[in-house]
Amino acid sequence: MDDPTAPPRTPSSSSSQLNTPPTMLRTPQALQSLTPSRHIDRLINFNHHQSPSRTIYSDRFIPSRSGSNFPLFDISNTPSEGRDDSSSAYGTLLRAALFGPDARGVVPPATPEKRSAIQMNPPSPNIFRFKTETRPSMHSLSPFGFDDVVTGAHHSPVKAPRKVPRSPYKVLDAPALQDDFYLNLVDWSSHNVLAVGLGNCVYLWNACSSKVTKLCDLGIDDSVCSVGWAQRGTHLAVGTSNGKVQIWDASHCRRVRTMEGHRLRIGALAWSSSMLSSGSRDKTILQRDIRAQEDFVSKLSGHKSEVCGLKWSYDNRELASGGNDNRLFVWNQHSTQPVLKYCEHTAAVKAIAWSPHLHGLLASGGGTADRCIRFWNTTTNSHLSCMDTGSQVCNLVWSKNVNELVSTHGYSQNQIIVWRYPTMSKLATLTGHSYRVLYLAISPDGQTIVTGAGDETLRFWNVFPSPKSQNTESEIGASSLGRTIIRLCRDLKRLRREMK
């Protein structure tokens, strides 16, 4: 009920009781003095040209927060600071990035409104105070390199290391698989068929159907020393202990031709389109064009002992060869003498792998007395780096999906190691073979490797991701990076504005 003794309210007293911006009290004549063009210019230049002697008003009702008791509830009265618990640490990181590590304690100057609110209402630490016990990880928010200068910020890697299964998903028996370091008895075709030389026979295992087919039997007077699939995956070359190379049509289990030229066993084979290279214990490498009538078109001489490793580069322009003379040679398509010679290894060089990611990058591994994986740039003829693995390096293969490689080892640990290049950090060390892991091949999709050893087993391991997953992660990473850059630019502008 209204009080009859109360004095009548006047418009002036009513307006004084409200926190009304001066704009609402302006006369119509004052409002009319702002022409449309001047009003638009003022809106456009609002953040760029502010007159220090004149206050610009808006037409919105903005309540005064100076009398609000925000500190009582541990609430900041600035909208930019009321986001989440990580905003304070994020702002500190940005200050450190902008003004250096010594600017950790620098805070924006308090406005008179903030200072009066803090002085009039000191915060109470015990009344209606909510505090979380855990804070979200910052995940290295600063892009400028001052990750370690902020006290209390817990950093963790943006991407956790990929986990590699420590056990093989399949184990096959391989009776009569020889324990001979200088042989190459396992190869995986582009049609997903695995060829394995067992004694004097070659067997094919279809990875899709798990069907096993006996391709050939060389007889009691001969044995299989190497196998190698052509790049198209339909023809298989078989090197024998009698120094002959047999070419087989695997789809019809039919021998196409037999080529001679070596005097001793052939332990290494490498295809380059229709060209087949064979390395022998007689210290030579023969270049064979299977379209020509001759058994070989050229002979490469240079090694002083048995040739046990051969690999063509992905562009089919360079051939790398390793021998029991501790030498690694590089040949071009037309040379009969090595164009590059590397003599740093101190044991036999059987493990050879060309990088599919960088032209001219070659990896090689040494035997028991060497134990090192070395990297070479054949374009600049330079030795890049060396990693001591601690045991005999038997094989190397590079992933085509990621910049990683796998090495298999013999004396004395018989392990399989997945490396990340170029840091050469170990992603996984796989064990299971009881003998030297002498044989290695990779599946056509680049995800699976198969290893063979003198324990007469073949073990299949999932070690590399698929190309599809790598593309997805790249797209997600690019999107996340874009959002981070946008947020960073926005917060940098806010921080500069607060520091003025």
Q: Determine the Cα–Cα distance for residues 441 and 444; give it in Å rounded to an integer.
A: 10
Tens-digit pLDDT string for the chain (500 aa): 444 444 444 444 444 444 444 444 444 444 444 455 555 455 445 444 455 555 555 566 666 555 555 555 555 555 444 445 556 777 777 777 666 665 545 555 555 554 554 455 554 444 333 434 344 444 444 444 444 444 444 445 556 778 999 999 999 999 999 999 999 999 999 999 999 999 999 999 999 999 999 999 999 999 999 999 999 889 999 999 999 999 999 999 999 999 999 999 999 999 999 999 999 999 999 999 999 999 999 999 999 999 999 999 999 999 999 999 999 999 999 899 999 999 999 999 999 999 999 999 999 999 999 999 999 999 999 999 999 999 999 999 999 999 999 999 998 889 999 999 999 999 999 999 999 999 999 999 999 999 999 999 999 999 999 987 665 544 444 455 555 566 666 667 676 666 66
CA distances in angstroms from 159 to 154, 393, 426, 469, 477, listed in the order given: 15, 30, 16, 14, 10
Contact partners, residue 34, CB within 8 Å, separation at least 6: 42
Amino acid sitting at position 286: L
Per the structure block, which two tokens stand in for 249? 């049509």
Secondary structure (3-state) at 81:
helix
pLDDT at residue 92, as a whole number: 76
What are phi and psi for residue 248, nearest 5 degrees? -120, 140
Domains and CATH numbers, the chain: 65-160 (no CATH), 170-464 (2.130.10.10)
- Kind of pairing between the strands at 224-229 and 212-217: unpaired
Q: Determine the Cα–Cα distance for residues 306 and 423; give it in Å rounded to an integer.
A: 33
pLDDT at residue 162, as a whole number: 84
pTM: predicted TM-score of the whole model, two decimal places: 0.65
Instruction: Give me the half-sphere count of Cα atoms (radius 13 Å) on the Cβ side of residue 132.
Output: 6
Number of residues in the chain:
500
Q: Determine the Cα–Cα distance for residues 103 and 92; give it in Å rounded to an integer.
A: 9
Check: CB of residue 405 under 8 Å from CB of residue 425. no
pLDDT at residue 103, as a whole number: 54
Per the structure block, which two tokens stand in for 342? 């590397």
Q: Determine the Cα–Cα distance for residues 408 and 309; give it in Å rounded to an integer.
A: 14
Check: CB of residue 377 under 8 Å from CB of residue 320. no
Q: Helices 467-499 and 86-99 meet at what angle, rounded to 10? A: 80
Strands (E), 306-379: 307-312, 318-323, 328-332, 340-342, 349-354, 361-366, 372-377
Nearest to 353 by CA among 413, 229, 441: 441
Check: CB of residue 253 under 8 Å from CB of residue 217. no
Contact partners, residue 222, CB within 8 Å, separation at least 6: 200, 240, 241, 242
Coarse DSSP helix, strand, coil percentages of the chain, rounded to the nearest 5 percent = 20, 30, 50
| Torsion on CA atoms 262, 440, 353, 390, rounded to nearest 10 | -110
Q: Determine the Cα–Cα distance for residues 149 and 138; give it in Å rounded to an integer.
A: 13
Instruction: Give me the half-sphere count of Cα atoms (radius 13 Å) on the Cβ side of residue 9.
Output: 8
Check: CB of residue 238 under 8 Å from CB of residue 248. yes
Q: Determine the Cα–Cα distance for residues 293 and 275; give it in Å rounded to an integer.
A: 13
